[in-house]
Amino acid sequence: MDTETADVAGHDVTTITCVCGNTVSKDGLIQANAQGIPVHSGDSPAPPELAEWPADEDLYTLCPSCGRVYRDAVIEETGTAPVAFRVDVKEAPIAEAIRVHWNLST
């Protein structure tokens, strides 16, 4: 199977148009860790559902619509956005983390 690749402009992860058609301004994209679990970016202690901000800054971008995950470092380096892996956004712990993420950011 060929690797799926999202559209991205200017090496900027926030410009991803996911393979499923989702964008930052549509359903949103979420910063995640290497397991695809949304990370906590605020100052307060991370809620248990969210992952800690990775110490090595190795971040991924999760599409909460379809569960495709892109690696930020690859996008910033190459200007392309191959799908790194895919998670099930309907199942815990990802589903819970997505819910908490949106609760915190609204």
Our CA angle for 19, 24, 25, nearest 5°, is 115
Q: Is 63 in the site for Zn ion (CB under 5 A)?
A: yes
Q: Is 100 in the site for Zn ion (CB under 5 A)?
A: no
Q: How far is the CB of 16 from Zn ion (least distance, A)?
A: 9
Q: Is 20 in the site for Zn ion (CB under 5 A)?
A: yes
Q: Is 66 in the site for Zn ion (CB under 5 A)?
A: yes
The interface region with Zn ion, picked from 8-16, 18-26, 39-47, 50-58 by CB under 5 A, is 18-26
How would you class 23 by CB atoms within 10 Å of its CB: exposed for 0-12, middle for 13-18, buried for 19 or more?
Answer: middle
Which residue has 């900027």 as its token pair?
Answer: 12
Q: Which residues would be at the binding site for Zn ion (CB under 5 A)?
A: 18, 20, 22, 63, 65-66, 68
